[in-house]
Each structure stands twice: as structure tokens, then as C-alpha cells.
């Protein structure tokens, strides 16, 4: 999945596949995770959030099925 660079102190890149509702996030430490069954509205809100790291912590982490893709 293609990730787009983002301006965040916690996240490096974000990718989203609307057809499968999979959100992929690369963190500043190099870790990559996939989050499943994420609505497009949540992806849009993440991308426009004033603090992407805070939005992720409050609205995504531990709310969706997760796969650790890369360390």
C-alpha cells in the first residue's frame, strides 16, 4: 500500500485503501501497522486532525483489528 508523508511528530506516513477499509500507518520509529475495518470518515478525520498523534491515540489505537507489518 502506498503511504503518503504526513506532518506529525508521531507519524511518518499514512495509507488508506477504501475498497478494503485498511489504514496503514508508519510511525517515526519505523514501525508499520495496519488497522482493519476503518471507515473512510475516520481516515479523513485523521488526515485533517490538528494533532495526528493525539487523534490516532484517541480514535484508532486499540479500536480496530491490528497487524504489525514491520519493525
Banded pLDDT at 69 (limits 50, 70, 90): very high
Q: What is the pLDDT of residue 37?
A: 98
Q: Which residue has the cell 501497522?
A: 33
Q: What is the pLDDT of residue 49?
A: 97
Q: What is the pLDDT of residue 70?
A: 87
Structural domain count of the chain: 1
Burial class (CB in 10 A: 0-12, 13-18, 19+), 38: buried
Where in the sequence is the domain holding 40, given as residue range(s)? 4-70
For residues 2 and 25, is the Cβ–Cβ distance under 8 A? Answer: no
Coil, strand or helix at 15: strand
Question: Using one digit for the tens of pLDDT, what is the confidence trace for 7-65?
Answer: 999 999 999 999 999 999 999 999 999 999 999 999 999 999 999 999 999 999 999 99
Instruction: Please state the pTM of the whole predicted model.
Output: 0.94
Residue 13 contacts by C-beta under 8 Å, 6 or more apart in sequence? 3, 4, 5, 6, 25, 26
Amino acid at each position: 500500500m502506498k503511504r503518503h508523508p504526513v506532518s506529525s511528530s508521531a507519524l511518518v506516513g499514512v495509507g488508506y485503501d477504501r475498497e478494503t477499509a485498511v489504514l496503514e500507518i508508519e510511525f517515526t520509529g519505523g514501525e508499520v501497522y495496519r488497522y482493519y475495518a476503518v471507515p473512510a470518515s475516520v481516515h479523513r478525520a485523521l488526515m485533517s486532525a490538528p494533532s495526528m498523534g493525539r487523534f490516532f491515540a484517541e480514535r484508532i489505537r486499540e479500536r480496530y483489528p491490528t497487524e504489525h507489518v514491520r519493525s
